[in-house]
Structure 1
Amino acid sequence: MNEKKKRILEESMKLFSRKGFHATSIQEIVEQSEVSKGAFYLYFSSKDELNIEIIKYYSELVFGKLEKIQQQDMENRKKLQAQIQVLIDIISEHKEYVMMYPRELVHVGKDIDQLIQDSNKKSFEWMKASLLQLYGAKIEPYIIDGSILLEGLLHGYTKAIVFHNIQIDTTALSEFIVDRLDDMIQNMLHNHVEPQVKWSQLSYPRVKEETNTSINVQDQILLVKKQIEQTNIEEQQKEQLREVVEVIEQEWRKERTNMVIVRGMLAELAQIESLKKATNQLKISMGV
């Protein structure tokens, strides 16, 4: 991103958090950013467009860093801890954004509303994938409750950091949050408690339909098994593929799924042309 544009975005967030969106003029923004009005209008046609770009900038910053960690080869628990630490660090560095929203969302239009919905959906998808990677298929009935618990922990601590200006060891805090989440999840699993929020209760049909499609790992595994039997290959190769699927299924059911093994097995399946589509869908279902 152009450095001038980035500076305008960041300085605008500071002004909006202090004065409010409506009370901040474009003249104040250009003075604070140390750019000309011409430079401002080179990047933004209006203050409303600037507001949209702030949300895009912050969202891309957050999810870009989360995705970068997701691609790393590390144990799933450590991966979630690293992602949470990055989230906390970003929020600590961009307190102005947190203070700016949702206070300034009273004036939102359709474009901003859609951006926020998309961001919330991405956040949910990240939490869902993280829980599936950590706990396997047994967490499926508790995906929504688990996501709410994780979001609550994150929101509570980041709110304290932002509004009380708390200085904290983010490495220790990220480990603490994952440990407390694990305490709650393990308790639900051990005691077979009734989920408090179910898929049928979601008020966003689009999210509900897409999530239900992606979450049913066991159905996808069964589909792969069925297609193996229908594939025109030698029986010895079929037996090898059955063993591959068995490894995936067993690994997925473990308390700590080894995603390195799962990815390797999925790569084996994807080498068979007739299994590629079902294998790709299985990868999506597993959050790989």
Structure 2
Amino acid sequence: MDAALLASVKDLAGHGVAQQLAAEQHRLSADDLELLQEAVQQRQASEQQAHMQRAEMERQADEYEAEAQRLQEQLRIIGLPLDKLSPPAREALRTLATIASQLHLAHPSQATMVAAWTDLALKDMRAAVMQSKVEQQCGALTRALGRAEIGASRTRAAMAEAAAAQAADEANHEAMRVRLIDFHNKIDAYKAKEAAMSHALARKGLKPELKHHALVEAAQQYEELQLQLQQAQAELAEFHGLPASQVGAELRLRQLEERCIEAKAQLQRGMRDLN
């Protein structure tokens, strides 16, 4: 704590308060020290103003006292009672009586009026200083409350945004989980169908590995056999009048027809099983 500030506190509040502040200064924050400095400055200004007011009141009291003594002396000399005073004189006496009543003085004098007036002024200044401190503290609390409300609003907005993002992620995760289950179910169904078709083909004498490309090859073989059959029929027609050649041609023709029938039946079974 600044030595000048500590000395000012000692002058204003006493040695005990200054010692207590010196012992507790490590606990005071920068805001506390600033508030204390402002309070000391306000107190010094208030005491200076009180001193000026006290001097002015003493001057006025001296004038009132001198005027009262002069009036009393004049009244004594001329022997005029109070009920015979002029309206301005009675108004002046009523004003003095009102001031004495407000200062709670039963027997007003210069010293008592100055003391009472000074005490009243000090009370007013203490009230003003206290009000200023309260207003400063209220202002600081209001600013802190405003900052807290802004922070709370931002926190609530961030929490709402995070909750919305979490809800969206959970919804996406659930949709992906459902799609994954459906995908696995489709894979299982496809595998089961493939196994059933393989077993059906095996029961009918076809190899389980018979697929689309095998059927394409069988169709090509059938077309080749059809071409060979047509060629054989053409040769048979050319040598139809020769008995030995005719028997050989007919035998070959029957063999080709049987192979074509067998290939066609195999192709039809494969196509039907795939459908």
Normalising by the residue count of structure 1, what TM-score does the alignment of the two structures yield? 0.18
Q: Which has the higher contact order (CA 8 A, sep 6+)?
A: 1
Higher helix share: 2
| Higher CA-based Rg | 2
